[in-house]
Amino acid sequence: MSKQQQLQETIDFLKKNGITNPEIGIVLGTGLGKLVDEIAIEKEIPYAEIPHFPQATVEFHSGKLIYGQLSGKKVVVMSGRFHLYEGYNAWEVTYGIRTFHGLGIQNLLISNAAGAINLNYKKGDLMLIEDHINLQGSSPLAFQGANAFGNIFVDLLEPYSKIINQKLKAIAIAQNIQLHEGVYASVLGPQLETRAEYRMLQILETDAVGMSTVPEVIVAKQLNLPCAAISVLTDECDPKNLQPVNIAEIIAIAGEAEPKMIALFKGVIEVL
């Protein structure tokens, strides 16, 4: 069965199961699942029940598709995302984005937890991604037949929607939420970076580093889907003063910063 056929079966299944006419798709990052509590949920479908959908493996991800009403709009949410470091391929990692597009979303919002490379940014801060550097060593458009889904020579002059970003910045000011802007570097992981790698990322003038988001954004661009992404900065990556990483603390900091991210997403959904 071709990738197109698989995708169509997934989309048909979800439409049959009541996921109709979502306006906005949302991908929730590690430790950032509480937005779901704000949604008037109409449908909740575990990934395991969706034909051809990858299965979530990371313990911090619940692994279900959620559909309902948020800020007056119909939203569909991936609560639990897929990473290359889990052994998925780039097609699987971005399968949810192609599914969202097939369901008819008009805008895409992405969140992630990331490490702050810019030492002016502190743990618990939020960063709006304005550009990225793909250091994952792969592309979600590099497979046979990828041009069946659109142009594979995608122009990444503006990977993140200026329009959505402007709205997010305005909401941040109105709600007195500090929102940095910066460049996100996406690495493969799952191990964290060495001091030498953090120095390299500083030389490349990146502001934050993570292990997701970039493949999803590249696919969104292939599909002409406007998107925006916010990083919750969960640790400070200072190569001169590097501390042992505490994953439990990272998850805790993501949880503390999450209400700010939720406020921004709710605010922007209202005006999209």
Phi, psi of 267 (to 5 degrees): -65, -40
Q: What is the pLDDT of residue 55?
A: 76
What is the C-alpha separation between 248 and 104, in angstroms, rounded? 37
Token digits of residue 70: 């948020």
Q: What is the pLDDT of residue 60?
A: 47
Interval 239-265: pLDDT, tens? 999 988 888 888 899 999 999 999 999
What is the C-alpha separation between 250 and 12, in angstroms, rounded? 38
Q: Choose among 187, 245, 247: nearest CA to 212.
A: 187
What is the C-alpha separation between 177 and 190, in angstroms, rounded? 30
What is the C-alpha separation between 189 and 183, in angstroms, rounded? 18
Token digits of residue 72: 């007056």
Q: What is the pLDDT of residue 62?
A: 64
Tell me the pLDDT of the chain averaged across its residues.
95
Architecture of the domain delimited by 3-271? 3-Layer(aba) Sandwich (3.40)
Mean pLDDT per block of 10 residues along the chain (272 residues) reads: 96 97 94 92 95 75 88 96 93 97 98 96 97 98 95 97 98 98 98 96 98 98 98 95 88 92 97 96
* Cα–Cα distances in angstroms (integers) from residue 77 to residues 39, 62, 105, 190, 239, in the given order: 10, 12, 11, 24, 36
Q: What is the pLDDT of residue 230?
A: 98
- pTM confidence score: 0.96
Q: What is the pLDDT of residue 247?
A: 85
Give residue limits of the domains in the chain.
3-271
What is the C-alpha separation between 206 and 198, in angstroms, rounded? 10
Residue with tokens 């991604």: 129
Is 86 within 8 Å of 75 (Cβ atoms)?
Answer: no
Interval 60-108: pLDDT, tens? 456 899 999 999 999 999 998 999 999 999 999 999 999 999 999 999 9
Helix (H) / strand (E) element for 209: namely strand 208-210
Q: What is the pLDDT of residue 251?
A: 87
